[in-house]
Chain A
Amino acid sequence: MRQDDIGQTDHADRRDEADLIARCQGGDLSAFNELTVRYRNQVFAITYNAVRNEQDAWDLAQETFLKAWRNIGKFRGQASFFTWIYRIAVNITIDSLRRKRIESGVEFDETAASGAIEPGAVTVPRSEPQPHRQLESREIQARIDAALEKLSPEHRLAVILREVDGLSYEEIAETMESSVGTVMSRLFYARKKLQTLLKDIYDTI
C-alpha cells in the first residue's frame, strides 16, 4: 500500500477501523480477525520482501499479528493502524535477520556492498540493452525480483519503503530503527546497484 493510498482512506473507513481497534482493545477476537484480513497482504509483502522466502515470510507475518494483538492495548491511534503494524512487521523482520546473521556469524558490511560508488558514477547495464524488444510484464517482474534479491535485506527494505510505499526518510528511519543518514546511505547504494541491474529495462519501456 502506498502512502497516498493510506491518505485516501475515507472517513467512514477510518471510523470503522477505529471501532474495530476499540473492540480489539476490549478483547474481541473477531474484530482482530477483520483487521488481519485487511492488512495481511501488506504485512506479508513487507516480510517477504525482506526474507525472500515464503515460509519464513508467513511465519514473520504471523509473529507480526501476534505481537499486534498482544500490544493492541498500547495502540493510541496517533499513527494509523497500518503504520503501526508496518513498524511491527519491519522490526520483527529485522530482528529475525539479525538473529540469523549472528547465528551464521556473518555481519553485513555497508561499505562492502557499496563498492565505493561515486554519485556521478556511470551505471553500466549488466546485459546489453534490447531496445527492439518489448519486455513482457512478467519478465520485467522477474528481472526486478532478481535484482532486489541481490541487495541486502536492509537495502532492499529501504528502497521498497521509499520507492514503492512512498515513506519519508524519517518514517523509514523510525520503522527500521536507524538514523536518517543510514537510510540515505542505504538508498544511495541500493539505487546504484539496481540501476546497474535494471538499466536496460527502464531505458526500454
Chain B
Amino acid sequence: MELIRILFSRCAALFRRRRLDEDLDEELRAHIDLAFEENLRRGMSEQEARTEALRVFGGVTQTKEAYRMQRGFPSVETLVQDVRYALRQLLRNPGFTMTVILTLALSVGANTAIFSIVNALMLKSLPYAHPERMGTIFMRIQGPEPADERHDIDGRQWELLRDNAPSLISAVSAGLSSGVNLQADEKVEYVHAGRVSAHYFDVLGIHLAAGRPFSEVEDRPHGPKTVVLSYRLWHSVFGGDRELMGQTIRLKSEPYTVIGVMPEGATTPMNADVYTALQPSREGEGRGTNFDAITRLRDGASWQEADAEINRAWGSLSADFAKRNAGSKLSYYSVPLQKGQTAGLRPKALTLMIAAGIILLIACANLAGLALVRILRRTPEIATRMALGASHWQIQKQLWVENLVLALMGGLAGVGVGFLALRGLLLLLPDNFLPVASVNLDGRVLAFTLVVSLLTSVLFGMLPALATRKVDLRSSMAMRAGTGGDRLRLRQALIAGEVALTVVLLAASGLLIRTLIHLETLPAGFNPNGVMTAKASLDDARFRDQAAFLKLLDESTTAMRQIPGVQNAAVGLTLPYERTLNDAVTLNDGPNAGLQTGTDEVYVTPGYFGTLQIPLLQGRDFTGADGPNTQPVAVVNRTFANKFFHGANPLGHTLNKGTVIVGVVGDVQLSSGLNPVAPLMSEETMYIPAAQVNPKLIPLAHIWFQPSWIVRTAAPVEGLTAQMQRALASADPGLPFSGFYSMSDLLAKTLVTQRIEVALLSAMAGLALLLSTVGIFALVANLVAQRTREIGIRIALGSSIRQAMIHVGGTGVRASAIGLIAGLVLCVGVLRVMRSVLYGVHVYDAPTLLAVVLALVAVTLLAASIPVLRIARIDPAKTLREE
C-alpha cells in the first residue's frame, strides 16, 4: 500500500517537474528568508545575517539535487537528458545521421519484408482451430534411390486410410483445382471449384456459417449432387440469401442442391469459390495418385499412433514396393500441414532470409566505419567531458544512447520501407501463389524488426564504444580533431568484408538471371508471336457426350476462322509451357515392343500444329477425316520418336493396340508433370485427334484441364477477344471463356517462381552493391577530409597532385580488391548449394563471374575517384597557414 503510494507520487512527479521545481525554489527561499529575519532580530548585520542563514542551510544546489533524487525517478530523468543530448548531437551532424538512417531503413526494410513472408509461411499458425493437430502424409524411401516427399494417394489408399486409421479424421481433395460454369440469373460465370471428400471441413475445423458439410452418402460415387458455397460467392452472386439452403442451383449445367455456406473470411488450402463432393473411388481418377490427403489427430491420440496406423493400413503397398525394388524400404509419416504445404517454398524463403541477413551485415560494416570516424572526430569533446568529471560509464552510456536513438529511428524508417517493399512484392506475386490468405506486418514482424534494429545498433556501435576506452586525456586534449589514422586498417577490413559478401550476392543473383534468360530463350519449338488463347470449362453436363463435345469444337473453331485477320484456329487440351495430362501408353511393335510406359498426352483439333506453327517433321497432320469411327491415329513428337524408336522411322508403328503413328512433330517446351527435372523442358508427347479421344476419358480430362482455344493472327486484330467470345457463343451461347492469354502470359505463369527469385535476389544484390559503394566512398572521402593538411604538406614538398590522389584513393581500391578476391573464394564454397535451382548455366559460370568483377571494379573506381577529385582543389599554402 505504502509502496504503491510512493510509486504513484514519484510517477506523478515526473510529469509535474516544472511546477514542483518552482514550489521547491519558493520553499527554500522562504527558509532562507525566515533564517535571515531571525538572524537580524538576534542583532546581526544584514550581510552577516544572510551569510549565516546560507551557511547553516548548507548548500542550496545540493539540497535541490538530493530533493529531486527523492522526488521522481532519477535514472529516467537522466535518460531523458541523454536522449535529448543525443538528438542534439545527431542534428548537429545531419549528413552522418541521414546516411545512417537511410542505410538502416533500406537494410532493415529488406529484412522486414522478407521476414513478413517467412512469418506468414512458416511461423504464423494456419488459420484453423488447433493447427498443430493437422497433418499431411509424406513418404520416405530408404535405399539406393532415396526420396522424401509429400505423397499423393489413389482411391485404394484413400479407402484403406479412411477405414484403418482411427486416430485420425482424414479427408482428401482433388490435386488440381478446376473451373466450372455456374448459371445464375440467365448469366453463366466461370468459377473455381474445389472437390473435397466428406469430413474435409471437419479436418480444417471449419464450422459452416449456414447449412452443413458433405455427408458420407453424398461423398459416395454417384451420390446426390450437392454444393457448399464460399461466403464471397454466396454474397456476390446470391445476395446472401438464407433461403438458398436446400434449393438447387445450376452448376456444370446440372442441378446441385446448396447444403452449406463457408463462414466469412474462412479459407481452405484450395481457396475455391464453390466446393463439390469429390466422391472418390478406386475407379476413374482414383486409379492414379490424384488425391491430396489431409488429416486431423483425434483427441487423445498421438502422431506416433497415427503413423503406425497409416503404415499398417498401407502395409501391402510397402511390401509390393520392397518386392519390386530390392534393397529399398518405403514408409509413411505425418508432417504438420503447414510444413507440408510450404515444403517447396521453404528453401527459397530461407535463401532470401540469408540474403537479407547479408544485407544487414554489410549495412553494419558501413555504419561501424562511419561511427568509428565520428567517434575519433569527437575524441577531443569526449576528453573534455572526462576532464570535467564525466565518468567513463557516463561517456559510454551517452554513446550507447546515441546508438539506440539512431537504431530506433532507422528501425522505424525500416518498417516503413519494409511495408512498401512488401506491398510491391505482393503485387508482383500472382494470385494464390503463396498458400496463405494474407501477409501482414503483425506483432511478430514488428518485434523482429525491433530486435534487428537493436542488434544492428549493438554491432555498429560496439567498435566506436570500444575505441573510446583508449581515450587518453592528455594527448587527446592537445590533439586537433580528427586524426586517428591507426583505425584505417580496421576500416579497410570492414570494407573488404562487405565487398566480399556483395560479391557472393551478385554472383548468386547473376546465376539466377542467367538461368531465367536461359529458360526464357529456350527454342520454344513453335512460333509464340501472334497467338491468342482462351480457356473454357467443359466439365459440364452438356459436353460429356462425345457428339456434343465434337460439335462444339468444330463449330467454334470454324466461327473463329471467320474472324477477319485470323489465319487459323484450333483447340487443344493443353498448350506449350503448360502442364500436360499424363497417360499410360503401350508400344505394340518397334524396338521397344511390349513396353508399357508413361507419356504426355494432348488431344488436338486439326490445325493445332498449323496454328502454333509446330513443324511437322515426318508423315501427316490430323485432318477432319480422322473421326470417331475411323482408324485411330496419333502424332508423336521428336523426343517420343527418339526415345522409343531410336531414330528408326516411327511412322506406321502402333500404340495401345491399334493406334497408328501417322506423323512426327517438333518438340515444344512444356512444364513437366511426368518427370520434372527443370521448370521448362521437352518430353515425350503423344498427340491424338480430339475426335478419337476415348469417350470415357472426355469427362475425366475436363475435370482436370480446361481446354484452350487458340487463334493465330498475322497482325494485331482490334477487339479480338470479344470476337473470340462471340464466335464461341455462336456455337454455344452458355459457355464463357475464363480469360484470354498470350503465349508470353503462359510462359510468365510457368516461370513465375524463377522471375520472383530473380527479382528479389537482384534487388538485394543491387542493394548490397549500393551499400558497398557508399562504404568505399565514405572511406576515401573521409581520408581526404582528414588528411587535407598532410596532403597539403606533401604537395608543398613536391609530390604531384596525381600522386596524392593515388595515395589516398588507393586505400579504398585496395580494400575493395581484397574483398573481391575474398568474395570469389567464398563463391567457390557457397554457390554450390545453388546447383538445384540453376538450369542451362554452370555454378562457376565465367561470364557471370566476369560481370561481377567488372561491376565491382567499376563502382570501386567511381566511389574512390569522386572524393579524391577534391584533392585537386587543395591549396597547400592555405592549409599550411591554417596550421
| A associates with B | no
A residues whose Cβ falls under 8 Å from a Cβ of B: none
